[in-house]
Amino acid sequence: MSLNMSGKTDKAKPMTPDAETLAPGAGSKVPGAGSKVLGAGPDNKGLFAAGFDQGKEDPLIASAGPDRAVAGIAGARPDRAVAGMAGTGPDRAASVISEMERYKIAVDEEETGFVTQVGDGVARVAGLRNCESGEMLEFECGIIGMAINLEENSVGCVLLGDETSVHEGMRANRTRSAVSVGVGDCLVGRVVDALGRAVDGRGDIVSDKTRPIEFMAPGVNDRQGINTPMQTGIVAIDSMIPIGRGQRELIIGDRQTGKTTIAIDAIINQKGKGVTCIYVAIGQKASSIASIAQTLEKHGAMEYTIIVASTAGDPACMQYIAPYAGCAMAEEFMYSQKKDVLIVYDDLTKHAVAYRSISLILKRPPGREAYPGDVFYLHSRLLERAARLSDELGGGSITALPIIETQGGDFSAYVPTNVVSITDGQIYLQPELFFSGQRPAINVGISVSRVGGAAQTKAMKKVSGSLRINLAQYRELEVFAQFGSDLDVATQNRLAHGERIVESLKQMNQSPLELEDQVILLYTVSGKELMGIPTKQLRQFNSAFMLHMAENLPQVLDNIRVTGQLSPDDEECLKHAIEEFKEEWLKPGWGKGRQRVRAT
C-alpha cells in the first residue's frame, strides 16, 4: 500500500520478476524522473530507452538480472559500459575523446597590478600579492622595474629607465623572472650601461645569452685555495701586498690619492696574460670614464676589457645595479669559459650612497649614518661572488678590487669598516705620502694581504722577504732623526738604505713592470750594492740596469719569467752584473742622461 499526496490510499503495483532480483537499491526511484532509465527484459530498447511508460510514475533504474547489475545504466550488455553515452562501442568513445582534445583551451595566467605612487626613480605597485624580491616588473609603457621592497599591500620597485613615462594608475605586470643582462664575448672592448646596452656610439650589442644580476656565491666545496698571483705590475703591491687570483683586495683612501690609478695599472698589466678585465664605474663623471677608456685604448687594454658605466647623472637605481651587472658579466667568463677575470668596483662608497637614497625614498628605517640596516649585506653578497673555482668546475676565478673613498682619512667610518671586514686585505693610500711625492702612496703599516706569500712566486718571495721590515724600521728612524742631528753610523746607514728603498718603490703612472723586472729591481734594492749611488740618480740607475740586463743577460730574465724562481746560478750572474754596471755608472759622465728605453 502507498499513500499519495492527497492522503488517499492506492493499491501497490505488482513488481516484475526481473525487478525483484536487482541488487539492493537497484529498484530505488529517481526523483523527478518520468521514464525508464534502462529497459528490462526482452523489450529492452537499449541505452537510455526513450519510451515513456505513461501509466507509471516511478522509473526503474534497471530490470536486468544480477549479472547485469554491474552494467548499471550502461544498457543491455556489460561490454557497453565503457562506451557510456556513445552507444556504439569503444571506437566511438576514443573518437570522441580525440575530438575533445582539439578544443582544449590554453590558459595564459597573468598577474597585473597598478601604480599607486611614483617619484625619484621609485614606484609603488598594488595588486601583486605573489611578487618576489628581485623580480622584474614590466610597466604598460615598456619601462622595466625591479621589486626590492615587499610590503603588505604594495610592492616597492626601482625603475630602470625614464621615470617620467610612468604615472599613477598605470598597469604593471609580473614577468616571473629576475633582472638579467646580456653577457659574452660580444661585450669585450665596449662601454655599456648597467643593463648591458652600448653607450660608446659603436652600435647596438646583440647578445644571445643573459645572466641574472643577482646570483648565489659558490660554496666552500666549489672553491679552491688561492695560489696563483694576479700581478698588478706595481712593485710595492706585488712585493709587500700580493694579490692572488680569486682574492678580494680593497683599495681605500681619500679622494685624489691614486686609487683608480692602481686599478687601471693592474688592468693594463694583464695584457697577454689571458685575463679578462671589467671596470665598473659607479657615480663617476662621464668625462672621467671617457678618459679611462682612452687610456685603456692607448695601451691596447680594451681588447680584453669591458667598461660598465653608471655616471653621476644616472638615476640612483642604475648606480645600485651596476656592480651586480658587472659581476654577472664576469661570472659568464668564470663559469662558462673557465677563465680568470679581474673586476674593479670604482667605487662602492657611491654605491652605498645610491642604495641609501633608494631606501630612504622607500621609507626603510635609517640606521648609522642614515644607511639602512642591510648595507653590510649589500656589499657582502656582491664580493662573496669573487672566488677561484675548484678544478672540477673548471678552475676559473674572479678577482675583485673594490675601491672605497674615505673622508679626511677616517678609516673607521661605517662603510669602510664594513668592506674591510668583507675583503681579504686592503691597500691604504695615505694623503701625506701622496703629497710628499711617494707614488703610489701606500702605507705599508696599515696595508695587508691576508693571502700573503701564497700569491707570490718563489723568486718574488726570495727578494722581498725583508722589504717590509726594512721599510717599517726606516719610517720609525725617520721620525726619530727629526729630533736630533748626532746619529751613529749604523743608524745613518739604515736611514740611507731606507731612503733608497723608498726611492726605488716610486713608480710612474701607466708603467707597470713585468715579474722579471720587479725581481731584478728588488734584488738590487735588498742588498747594499746601491749605497754608493746618489738617491736622486737611483731611479735612473734602476731603469738603465734593467735595460742592461735585457740586452746582455736575457737568459736570466727568461728563466725568472718561465720558472718563477731565482736559481743560485742566475743569482750569481745577477750579482756580478750589478757590480760591473755600478763601476761603469760611477765613472764621470756615464750616468748623466741615461734613460731606460725598453718597453714594459
Closest Cα partner for 116 from 164, 75, 169, 158?
Answer: 169
Alpha carbon distances (Å) from 107 to 204, 571, 596: 36, 78, 75
Distances from the Cα of 501 to the Cαs of 10, 300, 578, in angstroms?
127, 31, 16
Catalytic residue (choose from 80, 450, 475, 500): 450
CA angle 174, 177, 178 (to 5 degrees): 115
Q: Confirm whether 450 is a catalytic residue.
A: yes
- 473 CB burial (10 A radius; 0-12, 13-18, 19+): middle
Q: CB 32: neighbour CB atoms within 10 A?
A: 6
Taking residue 72's Cβ as centre, other Cβ atoms within 10 Å add up to 16
Backbone dihedral region for residue 120 (phi beyond 0: left; psi -120 to 50: alpha; all else: beta): left
Angle at 479 between CA 476 and CA 481, to 5 degrees: 105
Q: Report CA torsion sign: 19, 22, 25, 30.
A: negative
Cα separation values, 322 from 134, 185, 279, 406, Å? 14, 19, 11, 21
Q: Are 279 and 329 in contact (CB under 8 A)?
A: no
Largest CA distance in the chain: 149
Task: Report d(CA 12, CA 5) in Å as an integer.
Answer: 15
d(CA 329, CA 182): 8
Which residues are marked as active site? 450
